[in-house]
C-alpha cells in the first residue's frame, strides 16, 4: 500500500467514527469548537473505535491489535491523526507503559491476551511498581511472588498507583528470588486488580482529589500465563516501561484538541492569553518569554532523546512546567486567595493545577534520580560507591 493509500484508508475510517464538523474545525484550527465536539462524542469512545480499526498502534501486528504497517507508514498515520487533533491514547497506563514491556519481553500467548484489549481500551491498566520502602530505589522492592504449580502467589504493598481504583489490570513488579542481587530477582507480572486478596485504599492529594492509591496484595493468585517477563528478568522489562514513562512525562501528548500539558496545568499559550488580559511587570514579561522559549525548545526535542537521554527532557519539562504554573498564579495575584470558597471557579482551577504540578519533579522518577541517570548513563560519570553492590537482596539493609 502506498503512503497515499494509508492516509485514504485512515480517512475513510475517521469519517465513519467522527462527526463531519470535526474536520471543518480541525482544518480551521478552531480548538474551542473542536473541544466541544470531542466532549459530545467522548474522547475514549473515539479511541476505542480507532483501536478496533487498528489505528492506535498501526505498526503492531494485526493479531496484536495493529494493522501490520511499516514504521514509516505508521508514523504517517499517527501524524495525520495529530494534524486532525484526534485523541489516540487509551485511558490508563496500558498503552504507554505496559505495552512496551509486553511487546519486548512477553510470550506470544501473553501478547495476544493483552495487547488487543490495550489498544481498544477494553482493559485499563495501572502501575504497581513503587513501595513505601522502594521508590527512588525501586530495585529494593519487597513484594514477593512465590510459584505454586501453574500460578504465582503474590503478597506485599504498593503505593502511588495512579487511577488504580478505575483500572482492571496492574503491571506488578515482585521479588521472585531474594537470594540474588536486588536487580536480578524481580519478575514482571500482570495482575487482576479485582482478584481476591487485592485491596485498594485511596491517597487523597492536597488538592482534595483522589488520583493515587495504596494497593495491598494478600496471597493474590496470578496465572503463569500472565507473567510478562522471563522469571527473574523483570528489571530489564521494567526499564522498558520506565523509559516510556520518562518520554511521556517529558511532553509527549495524547492527541486531541485539548492542547493540554501532559503534566497538567496551563499551557504556555493559555498563560500568554492571561498575561494579555491582566498585564505583566517587566520581570514577569521576561519570565514568560523564557517559558515560551523553553516550550518551543522542548517541543523540538521531546521524542528524539531515547533511552537514558530521555531523563534530560523529563527534568527540563518538570522544572519549566512548575515555573509556568507559578507565574500564572503570580499574574492573577490576590484573585487566587481563598480558592476553595468564594473565588471564581476559573481561578480555582489555576490553583488546583499549580498544586498538582508540584508532583512533576517527583512522579515517574524524581529529578534527583533523573540527574543521576544523566550523569552515570549519559555522561559516563562514575557511580557513587555502594558497599552492598552485588550482595544478595536478603543481606542488604533496608529501612
- Say yes or no: 83 and 104 in one domain: no
Residue 386 lies in a domain: no
State the pTM of this model: 0.84
User: 399 lies in a domain?
Assistant: no
> Can you say how many angstroms the Cα of residue 141 is from the centroid of all Cα atoms in its chain?
21
- DSSP letter, residue 114: H
Query: Considering 186, 204, 237, which residue would you say is the last residue of a domain?
Result: 237
pLDDT score at 248: 67
Residue 391 lies in a domain: no
Same domain, 139 and 220: yes
Where residue 349 falls (left for φ over 0; alpha for ψ -120 to 50; beta otherwise) is alpha
Which pLDDT tens digit goes with each residue over 238-290? 999 988 777 666 555 444 444 555 567 788 888 998 998 898 999 999 999 99
Domain boundary at 178, 211, 237, which? Answer: 237
3-state secondary structure of 138: helix
* Grid cell at residue 120: 481498544
pLDDT of residue 251: 54
Residues 229 and 331 in one domain: no
Instruction: Name beta bridge partners: 155.
Output: 144
Q: Does 117 map to a domain? A: yes
* Spatial separation of the C-alpha atoms in residues 394 and 384, rounded to whole Å: 21
Within this chain, do residues 128 and 70 fall inside the same structural domain, yes or no?
no
Contact 346, 358 (CB under 8 A): no
Domain CATH number, residue 278: 1.20.140.10
Q: How far apart are CA 198 and CA 170, in angstroms?
A: 11
DSSP state of 374: I
In a domain, 244, yes or no: no
Both 122 and 223 in one domain: the answer is yes
For 139, the domain range is 100-237
- The answer to whether residue 302 is domain-embedded is yes
- The beta strand positions in 245-377, using DSSP E, are none
Domain assignment of residue 232, yes or no: yes
Q: What is the pLDDT of residue 375?
A: 95
Residue 324 in contact with residue 265, Cβ under 8 Å?
Answer: yes
Which of these three, 44, 61, 88, is where a domain ends?
Answer: 88
Residues facing 213 on adjacent strands:
202
345 - beta bridge partners?
none
Give the residue numbers annotated as catalytic, written as ranges: 245
Residues 6 or more apart in contact with residue 60 via CB below 8 angstroms: 54, 66, 67, 68, 103, 115, 119
pLDDT at site 345:
66
Evaluate whether residue 23 is within a structural domain: yes
Tell how many helices (H) and how many strands (E) occur in the chain: 13, 7
Coil, strand, or helix at residue 147?
strand
Tens digits of pLDDT across the chain (399 residues): 667 789 999 999 999 999 989 998 888 888 778 888 888 889 899 999 999 999 999 999 999 999 999 999 999 999 999 888 898 888 889 999 999 999 999 999 999 999 999 999 999 999 999 999 888 889 999 999 999 999 999 999 999 999 999 999 999 999 999 999 999 999 999 999 999 999 999 999 887 889 899 999 999 999 999 999 999 999 999 999 988 777 666 555 444 444 555 567 788 888 998 998 898 999 999 999 999 998 888 877 766 777 788 888 889 989 999 999 999 999 998 888 765 555 556 778 888 888 888 888 888 788 998 899 999 999 999 988 888 888 898 888 876
CB 87 within 8 A of CB 38: yes
Report helix, strand or coil for 338.
coil
Q: Helix, strand or coil for residue 64?
A: helix
CATH number of the domain to which 145 belongs: 2.40.110.10
Q: Are residues 360 and 259 in the same domain?
A: yes
Same domain, 232 and 311: no
Secondary structure class of 339 (helix, strand, coil): coil
- Whether residues 340 and 261 share a domain: the answer is yes
Number of domains in the chain: 3
Amino acid at each position: 500500500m502506498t503512503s497515499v493509500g494509508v492516509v485514504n484508508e485512515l480517512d475513510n475510517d475517521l469519517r465513519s467514527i467522527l462527526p463531519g464538523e470535526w474536520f471543518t474545525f480541525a482544518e480551521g484550527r478552531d480548538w474551542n469548537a473542536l473541544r466541544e465536539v470531542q466532549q459530545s462524542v467522548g474522547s475514549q469512545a473515539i479511541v476505542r473505535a480507532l483501536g478496533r480499526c487498528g489505528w492506535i498502534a498501526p505498526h503492531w501486528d494485526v493479531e496484536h491489535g495493529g494493522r501490520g504497517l511499516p514504521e514509516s507508514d505508521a508514523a504517517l498515520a499517527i501524524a495525520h491523526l495529530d494534524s486532525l487533533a484526534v485523541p489516540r491514547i487509551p485511558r490508563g497506563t496500558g498503552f504507554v507503559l505496559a505495552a512496551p514491556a509486553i511487546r519486548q519481553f512477553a510470550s506470544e500467548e501473553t501478547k495476544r491476551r493483552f495487547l488487543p484489549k490495550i489498544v481498544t481500551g477494553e482493559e485499563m491498566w495501572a502501575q504497581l511498581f513503587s513501595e513505601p520502602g522502594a521508590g527512588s530505589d525501586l530495585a529494593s522492592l519487597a513484594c514477593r511472588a512465590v510459584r505454586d504449580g501453574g500460578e504465582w502467589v503474590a503478597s506485599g504493598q504498593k503505593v502511588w498507583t495512579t487511577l488504580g481504583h478505575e483500572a482492571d489490570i496492574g503491571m506488578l513488579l515482585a521479588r521472585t528470588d531474594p537470594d540474588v542481587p536486588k536487580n536480578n530477582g524481580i519478575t514482571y507480572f500482570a495482575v487482576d486488580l479485582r482478584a481476591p486478596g487485592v485491596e485498594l485504599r485511596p491517597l487523597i492529594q492536597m488538592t482534595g482529589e483522589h488520583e493515587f492509591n495504596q494497593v495491598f496484595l494478600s496471597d493474590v493468585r496470578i496465572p503463569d500465563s500472565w507473567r510478562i517477563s522471563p522469571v527473574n528478568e523483570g528489571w530489564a522489562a521494567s526499564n522498558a516501561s520506565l523509559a516510556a514513562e520518562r518520554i511521556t512525562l517529558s511532553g509527549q501528548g495524547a492527541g486531541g484538541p485539548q492542547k493540554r500539558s501532559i503534566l497538567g496545568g496551563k499551557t504556555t499559550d493559555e498563560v500568554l492569553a492571561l498575561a494579555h488580559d491582566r498585564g505583566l511587570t517587566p520581570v514577569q514579561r521576561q519570565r514568560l518569554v523564557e517559558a515560551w522559549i523553553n516550550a518551543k525548545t522542548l517541543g523540538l526535542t521531546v521524542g528524539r532523546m531515547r533511552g537514558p537521554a530521555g531523563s534530560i527532557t523529563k527534568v527540563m519539562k518538570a522544572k519549566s512546567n512548575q515555573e509556568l504554573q507559578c507565574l500564572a498564579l503570580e499574574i492573577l495575584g490576590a484573585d487566587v486567595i481563598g480558592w476553595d470558597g468564594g473565588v471564581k471557579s476559573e481561578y480555582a482551577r489555576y490553583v488546583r493545577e499549580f498544586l498538582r504540578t508540584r508532583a512533576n519533579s517527583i512522579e515517574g522518577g524524581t529529578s534527583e534520580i533523573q540527574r543521576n541517570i544523566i550523569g552515570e548513563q549519559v555522561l559516563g560519570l562514575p557511580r557513587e560507591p555502594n558497599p552492598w553492590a552485588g550482595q544478595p537482596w536478603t543481606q542488604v539493609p533496608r529501612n
